Amino acid sequence: MKSKIFISLLLVTVLFLCNLGTAQASFYRNNSSDTAFIYGRGWDEQGHEVMGWGYNHSMLANYGYNEDQKNPVLVQISDISTNEATINFNISYISQSQLEYGMGNLSAHSTNTNWQTGKQKIVLKELQCATLYQTRVVTRDVANNKYYSDTKLVQTLSCQTDFGDHQSFDVTNNNGILELTPDLSGQTKLYLLNGHRYTLTLSKNSVNTQAIVRVAEQTTLVEPAISQGLFSVYEHPIKIELNNLLDQQSIVFFNQPVSLAVEYDQGAVKNFAEDQMQIAYFDDQQNKWIALPTTTDTNQNTSYTFIYKTGSYKLFGTLPNWLNSNIKSDVVYREQTGQRIYYVKDGIKNYIDNYAILNSWGWQISHIVVTRDLSHLLLGMDLKYRDGSLIKIGTNYYYIEKGTKRMLNSETVIADLGWNKDWAYIAGKNELDNYPDGRAIFDAEERPDYSLIKYTNSPKVYLLESKKKRWITDENAFRKNRFSWAKIVTVSITEIYPDGEPLK
């Protein structure tokens, strides 16, 4: 009896193993609550009943399968280097994924991923430098159906790019050319005749795509009017260009402020007020030079500023005693002979186009001082909405952060952040056209910089800046920075930020 049972069991095992050896994963099982990938009864692609390994058909629905979301979505290509690139994509259903890629075709393939769904990434390795590749994502669902993403292009970085882990920046060189992605920082220096040089420094996320930055000497442009009080230190300006690497389209704005430093020869500035040197950019529309807020280290013979856009830049000097001592810094003035309003800071007057911008900085009409002594002041950039301002155009809301405009997905997001939509300044249809686009705000998971917060059961108020919380030490510091008490948001103690430098 025992031998018969043994033989029967042996035959069942052999049959099972035979079926296991011949079965394919191209079918799935119905009428089961089990979602595991196991051996069982199911149907193949022709509808024939078979035994083999597969998934329960309902698993497709369990993982959000939708006819309109079958194709994988290639979201972003990141971490591009000379020989690697990371492909990020989304899948709305359980699947195995693979990358097809190649130069001019899609002949190469990555290895398959495990069965998974949602956000995924695959790293392509051993690529050739300075090479343009095509790539797309291919997925296979549990029924062995294949779906394809759109084809995208990725170009690896230049073979000559100077990389170094010991450096402060990912890429450095002295030729005035940087090839960067959003994931890389870089610094390039351009040496010119007569003992001066320009240094352009870009932190990570300064560009929002794979791009080439070029700094080159330019032919002479129009000189400023004497009334502007700007006098050229050197004859030739520089021109900064930014181009998308794949389509060579020009990009006007950087994604965030970029540092520009000009090192000068001491003899070239002997006739100027060295502590009042100015870096300016050329406004093509106004056909004039516009002074930028500039800091000069006289010990290092270097002037510094931050720039937001490409174009022509130049170092200028000002004459000693050119500025009127009656004009104070950090004050709003109105010309006695006209209606134009300016904010004056460090000898530069910045035009304020409307009262909404004035109010965003914490000023009221009563703060405006009338004067007739603005004619000798340097003309700077038009003042923009203050960082941390909420702007409404039509039915759309935007948040100003580091000079960029970030669109808010809905009024619900505004409420979730603890803000009040009544804080918004009403702007004209095209008023924010000169603000670079920042990342849209889709939810309240990441609180933007320049928010004012306090914690429950604590009187301390903080300004968020660079993802750190800066304690505003007292009421005087709060008023000096012209913050609004009404815009302080109380947050949970679970919302944690590292400490930054206190604001005094």
Beta bridge partners of 309: 253
Residue 55, pLDDT score? 52
DSSP-derived pairing of the beta strands 302-309 and 311-317: unpaired
Cα(136)–Cα(148) distance, integer angstroms: 7
First to last CA, the chain: 94
Contact 316, 353 (CB under 8 A): no
Buried b (16+ CB within 10 A) or exposed e, 456-473: eeeeebbbbbeeebbbbe
Give the list of residues 6+ apart from residue 449 with CB closer than 8 angstroms, or none.
387, 388, 401, 402, 464, 465, 466, 467
Task: Output the DSSP codes for 381-401.
Answer: PPP-PPTT-EEEETTEEEEEE
Token pair in block for residue 165: 């882990």
The answer to whether 82 and 51 have CB atoms below 8 angstroms apart is no
Question: Given the structure tokens 């971490």, which residue do they identify?
Answer: 79
Can you tell me the distance from the alpha carbon of 443 to that of 65, in angstroms, rounded to the nearest whole number? 24
- CATH for 171-317? 2.60.220
Against a cut of 0.85, is the pTM above it? Answer: no
C-alpha separations of 239 from 309, 311, 403 in Å: 11, 5, 22
- Which residues of the chain register pLDDT less than 50? 1-32, 45, 57-65
Burial classification of residue 455, based on how many CB atoms lie within 10 Å of its CB (0-12 exposed, 13-18 middle, 19 or more buried):
middle
pLDDT digits (tens, 9 = 90+) for 160-209: 556 555 568 888 888 899 999 888 899 999 988 777 899 999 998 899 88
Q: What are phi and psi of 231, to 5 degrees?
A: -135, 130
Q: Tell me yes or no: is domain 67-155 CATH 1.10.10.1100.
A: no
Phi and psi, residue 356, nearest 5°: -65, -45
pLDDT in tens, 375-419: 777 788 899 999 999 999 999 999 999 889 999 989 999 999 999
Q: Where are the domains of the chain?
A: 2-57, 67-155, 171-317, 331-379, 390-491
At residue 69, the pLDDT reads 65
* Pairing of the two strands 378-379 and 348-352: parallel
67-155 and 171-317: same fold?
no
CA-CA-CA-CA torsion sign (401, 204, 154, 119): negative
